[in-house]
A = this chain, B = another copy of it.
Amino acid sequence: QIDSARLWGSIHETAQFGGTAKGGVRRLTLSSEDKQVRDWFRKACEDAGLDVHTDALGSQFGLRKGRDMTKLPVGIGSHLDTQPTGGKYDGILGTLGALEVIRTLNDAGIETEAPICVVNWTNEEGSRFAPAMMASAAYVGDFTTDDILSRKDIDGTSVSQALDSIGYRGDKPVGFQKLGCFVELHIEQGPILEAEGKTIGVVDSGQGVLWYDGKISGFESHAGSTPMPLRRDALATLSEIVLAMEAIAKKHGPKAVGTIGEAVIANPSRNVIPGEIAFTMDCRSADGAIMDALDRDLRAAIAEIAARRKVEVKIDLVWRKPPTHFDPKLIAAVENAAKTLGYSSRRITSGAGHDACNLNTVMPAAMVFVPCKDGISHNELEDATQPDCAAGTNVLMHTVLAIAGV
């Protein structure tokens, strides 16, 4: 059994780094708040006897020796960055839960056969730099390190510059730390476990993701003197796209979602018809055929709207992550750990993307979910209970022990 109070203490101690008035956390990746939590995490890992290294994209790896160092380590962890309106648990539970597993094994003097590696992946959230789960994607070879280093945030700062500015461009190449498998603990970020009164979600699959960058070019013109029929209004165009996206996701529902999270009017003014808008789109489904249908329907709807409104709309698919099907053996290990520990559980699909989804493309991976209040996440009100967090961490530990061997 892990130390529930110690785990809870580290979650709340680190929540001060970027803590907000509403009780949430604003800790964008590679920001000064992210540096604070990284410093804390490095020290905590070193204090727990881990050998800590940072790779060229800033991901932190803390290795605990196993009896058989020819075996590849069991990877555990998640991320410590948050959304602009983020909570105290998303990613953090999985990273500090992994640390708690190490601390518990240390206290109990338990040595494992295979080594264990705790990981804090850089930029899981994807709100400052696209794509999400950026560093784990580079780790599995979906992108080159140089490509990722050149990605820019909205202010034009590159990943490379951001890493240097907080001193977290590590000296190890991406991929330096080989892993044999990866298990990630996370809050569900959805309403199912809570609604069904289950403590553990055994994650067997994850939604695929489509991310687009869009740009609407209409025509700026006077709000008072331009007759309605002559307008080429970029905001009215965006509005139709937002509602079309909603309708398309509902049509393919319940196994699909679609969101426009960002939209910026260029040179806005009260009495000017918006002429140019940049926006982004996020579509998801756990079913690859539905993802294709979402893409097709969305493009058709946008083409129709643009033609009718005599406005140009450009859409770039900037990220396509296929649906995830986690490793059957690891899924069974998680399920078994929950059962042994006496927690209620159910199989579940992840609505969100996770680093484990990337790792699963090159090694066996699995995930453990615990409930979060009202399914709320990416919101400062995100909440989870201490017993649930402890339960998830216990399941993580027992899964690791089963895989690593005692």
Chain A interface residues (CB < 8 Å from chain B): 83-85, 125-127, 130, 132, 188-191, 207, 209, 211, 219-230, 233, 235-236, 238-240, 242-243, 246, 249-250, 253-254, 256-265, 267-275, 280, 282, 284, 350-353, 375-380
Report the minimum CB–CB distance from A221 to chain B (whole Å).
Answer: 6
* A227 B257 Cβ-Cβ under 8 A: yes
* A220 B379 Cβ-Cβ under 8 A: yes
* B271 A221 Cβ-Cβ under 8 A: no
* B261 A225 Cβ-Cβ under 8 A: no
* A242 B249 Cβ-Cβ under 8 A: no
* B127 A282 Cβ-Cβ under 8 A: no
A351 nearest CB neighbor, chain B only: B225
* B125 A271 Cβ-Cβ under 8 A: yes
* A261 B257 Cβ-Cβ under 8 A: no
- Given the interface contacts A125-B271, A269-B127, does A222 sit within 8 Å of B189 by beta carbon? yes
* A223 B257 Cβ-Cβ under 8 A: yes
Q: Which 3 A-B pairs have the closest CB atoms?
A: A225-B351, A239-B239, A127-B269
A283 nearest CB neighbor, chain B only: B223
* A272 B207 Cβ-Cβ under 8 A: no
Could you say how many copies of this chain the assembly holds?
Answer: 2
Question: What is the CA–CA distance of A228 and B243 in the complex, to the nearest angstrom?
Answer: 12
A241 nearest CB neighbor, chain B only: B239
Residues of B within 8 A of A272 (CB): 83-85, 127, 259, 261, 378-379
* A239 B243 Cβ-Cβ under 8 A: yes
* B265 A225 Cβ-Cβ under 8 A: no
24 examples of A-B residue contacts, CB within 8 angstroms? A84-B268, A85-B275, A126-B270, A127-B269, A127-B271, A188-B225, A190-B222, A190-B226, A219-B376, A222-B377, A225-B351, A228-B258, A235-B242, A235-B263, A236-B243, A238-B239, A239-B243, A240-B243, A261-B268, A263-B265, A270-B280, A270-B282, A271-B352, A272-B379
* A351 B222 Cβ-Cβ under 8 A: yes
Report the minimum CB–CB distance from A97 to chain B (whole Å).
Answer: 19
Question: What is the CA–CA distance of A377 and B220 in the complex, to the nearest angstrom?
Answer: 8
Report the minimum CB–CB distance from A23 to chain B (whole Å).
Answer: 13
Question: What is the CA–CA distance of A384 and B23 in the complex, to the nearest angstrom?
Answer: 56
Question: What is the CA–CA distance of A219 and B250 in the complex, to the nearest angstrom?
Answer: 19
Report the minimum CB–CB distance from A238 to chain B (whole Å).
Answer: 7
Beyond the given A83-B271, A83-B272, A127-B269, please list 17 additional residue pairs across the A-B interface where CB-CB is below 8 A. A84-B268, A188-B225, A190-B225, A207-B224, A223-B282, A224-B284, A228-B249, A228-B253, A228-B254, A228-B256, A230-B375, A259-B272, A262-B269, A263-B268, A264-B268, A270-B282, A271-B282
